[in-house]
Amino acid sequence: MSKFNFKKVSGKKAYKAWAKWEHGDFIVGKFLQSTPGYKKSEEKRNYEFELLETSFDDVKVGETFVLNHNGLLAYHMDSRVNEGDIVKVEYTGMEAMEDGSMAHQVEVYVAEGDDKVTTEIPEADESEEDYGL
């Protein structure tokens, strides 16, 4: 019996091709790092997360989950997300681009405060004061 408490940091990385995502599928995870993507391209980066929650049945919480390059995802991740942030990525389907090609669409959310992750909309306070009565 070891006197140390261990946290597993090795193991396989989970991945799901964008073509297999359905509208509303999501992951929530701690953003670990971005890595060179397809053919080690610096322009097309992948994003690794410590998986905290997911809508997928075939991946496990605690695994490292990799999101491969997606133009919209890259825009949000590279400009608005820092390593260590808790992030929710939700798939919203395909959309036609100006050139007629189709592109995968995602929404990216970053937790605020003390690592709070919520997708709930707070209920409005319907007091008379709010309506100027």
Q: What is the CATH number for 92? A: 2.40.50
What's residue 11's pLDDT? 66
Q: What is the pTM of this model?
A: 0.75
Per-residue model confidence as pLDDT tens digits over 23-40: 999 999 999 999 988 777
Query: From residue 129, how far is each of 25, 69, 126, 132, 133 by CA, in Å?
Result: 39, 48, 8, 5, 6
Q: Is 89 part of a structural domain of the chain?
A: yes
Could you tell me if residue 104 is inside a domain?
Answer: yes
Q: Nearest Cα to 64, choosing from 106, 32, 17?
A: 32
Confidence of residue 113 (pLDDT cuts 50, 70, 90): confident
Average pLDDT on 77-90 reads: 96
The 10 Å CB-count burial string (b at 16+, else e) for 96-108 is eeeeeeeebbbeb
pLDDT, the chain, mean: 84
Tell me if 119 is assigned to some domain.
no
Phi, psi (deg, nearest 5) at residue 125: -85, 115
Residue-range definition of the domain harbouring residue 99: 19-114
Counted domains in the chain: 1
Dig out the tokens for 82 from the structure: 């820092």
